[in-house]
Amino acid sequence: MAPAGQRLLGLRKELGLTMRDVEAASTRIAERHQNEDFAISPSRLSDIESKGLVPNIHRVYSLSVIYRRDLRELLRWYGIDIDEMAADVALWVPPKSHIAAITDSMMEVKVPVRIDPGFDARKTANLGRMIERWGLVPLAYLSQFSQTQYTYGYIGTGDFTMYPVLLPGAFIQVDESLNKVVEGGWRSEYERPIYFVELRDGYTACWCSLKGEYLVLQPHPLSPTPVRMLRLSEEAEIMGQVVGIAMRLEGWRPATSKATPEPSAPESSAEETKGPRRLN
């Protein structure tokens, strides 16, 4: 495969543009955004095309606009594939729970395009063997199947609120239409609804109950996290109910932990320890 600079040179020649043309066009872009970093001088363009100079992100944007090519394509020429972000996310995980929105920028997704006709959904199966072929599908084609009421979250490696039912490092699917606390009606802890809650300083997933104007954040009994009471709407807001979970049963522990660690309770803020916001 030709180097990125040579491919950019080929694009410029295909469009019949001179270096001065590129300079003039990029100058207009720079003036519109009031940022000189978008401008590309002839000498700089020559270095990009012939000497392998890597342009900054502003100039890559200018070149994609001037050459009428997708920005993602130009980034791939320089070894950056936006569609690999989902896989790279797994290489490092933050300690706090949060909304997982990084894949919103992906234009294509690898999905199963052919399923083993002998697959029986009633039986436990090897997913890798069940799928006969994977393929890249533009996300625009999947928009008809989108469920706008769903939000996707990530349970931070330091969030032990629902341990061991919901392990740190898990990905969760949240149904935003189920944002009202359901009191009772479940026969076990696995039937009790888990809610994804937005706090002033982040997010958490937990059981919930109402006590007047306060929302009671109830952790799992085996969790080291204390019960908290926060004022509903002001200090805590229910985003929805957790309706799907994807989690690993190994590899979620902090790198400094032992083989079978005892999870330590996260530090409580001063605000959490005041008044009726914490139950003993």
- The segments of the chain whose pLDDT lies below 70 read 86, 90, 101-116, 119-148, 251-280
Q: Distance (Å, rounded) from C-alpha 34 to C-alpha 28? A: 9
Residue 180 belongs to a domain: yes
Residues 272 and 158 occupy one common structural domain: yes
CA dihedral for 261, 252, 235, 269, sign (positive or negative) = positive
Give the side-chain half-sphere CA count within 13 A for 211. 15
Structural domain boundaries, residue 172: 150-277
User: What sections of the chain are H helices per DSSP?
Assistant: 4-14, 19-33, 42-50, 57-66, 71-77, 85-89, 127-130, 139-142
User: 180 with 254, same domain?
Assistant: yes
CATH number for 226: 2.10.109.10
Which residues is 101 bridged to in the sheet? none
What is the pLDDT at residue 138? 56
Q: Is residue 125 part of a domain?
A: yes
Count of domains for the chain:
3
Co-location of 233 and 208 in the same domain? yes
Q: What is the pLDDT of residue 103?
A: 54
**Distance (Å, rounded) from C-alpha 171 to C-alpha 155?**
6
Amino acid, res. 223: S
In a domain, 179, yes or no: yes
Whether residue 256 is contained in a domain is answered as yes
141 and 156 in a single domain? The answer is: no
The pLDDT assigned to 156 comes to 85
Model confidence pTM above 0.75 = no
pLDDT of 271: 38
CATH at residue 52: 1.10.260.40
Tokens of 15: 């469009």
Decide if 213 is inside a domain. yes
Residue 4: the pLDDT is: 95
In terms of domains, do 176 and 250 share one? yes
pLDDT of 168 reads 87
Whether 176 and 190 map to the same domain: the answer is yes
Give DSSP secondary structure letters for 149-181.
TEEEEE--TT--TTTTTS-TT-EEEEETT--S-
pLDDT at 95: 83
Bond prior to 221 in cis (omega within 30° of 0) = no
